[in-house]
Amino acid sequence: MDGVTYTITDSAGARQLTDDVRNLYAAVYAEAPYHEGPEHVRQFRRWWSDHLRRPGFALASATEASRLVGVSYGYTMPGGDWVEPNADEPPALLRAAEKLLVPEWMVAGDYRGSGVGRRLLSMLLNGRSEPYAVLAANPHAPARRLYERMGWRQYGQIRPKSIPDMDVLVLRISALDPP
């Protein structure tokens, strides 16, 4: 899209976008198959505040005419850590490696299918030192098929308490051998 401006920033710059990111989250996740409501948006705001303090935080954003239309952000998950306690155990090599955890990758509905999301993820992954990126995806979301086409591979599931089970997906982003 010709009028879209892309930027990448650290936590200080991202903090200034907090309200816009929260509003985008609310709009995207109100849709099917998520059907998330105000309590989920409040939880996201708490997670966002925590994520901003994580090492290696970066946010790729897309705006058009002062409207935030997409974001992808992540931070470094240290070797030995995994996505959460209720997730299936990954291969030992994957657990041991540093990973870029991508908690959110969201694009406004009227911008999906235009390449905005792919560009945001490319910006986020470009130049990262972590050998792998990890995210959780709703298996019923249209984006789940996009992840597969982009080379993400499933390594189990997460069984959260407040939302449906999610697929744990991994993408190799360095020249290291896959797990």
Between the two ends of the chain, the Cα-to-Cα distance in Å is 36
Asked if 172 contacts 132 with a C-beta cutoff of 8 angstroms, the reply is yes
Percent of the chain with pLDDT over 70: 96
Instruction: Point out the least confidently predicted range of 5-14, 120-129, 159-168.
Output: 159-168
Q: Calculate the average pLDDT of the chain.
A: 92
Does 178 have pLDDT greater than 60?
no
* Sequence ranges of the domains in the chain: 5-172
CATH code reported for the domain at 5-172: 3.40.630.30
Residue carrying structure tokens 């997409």: 70
Burial of residue 73 (number of CB atoms within 10 Å: 0-12, 13-18, 19+): buried
Instruction: Point out the least confidently predicted range of 16-25, 27-36, 131-140, 168-177.
Output: 168-177
Helix axes 18-30, 38-52, angle to 10 degrees: 140
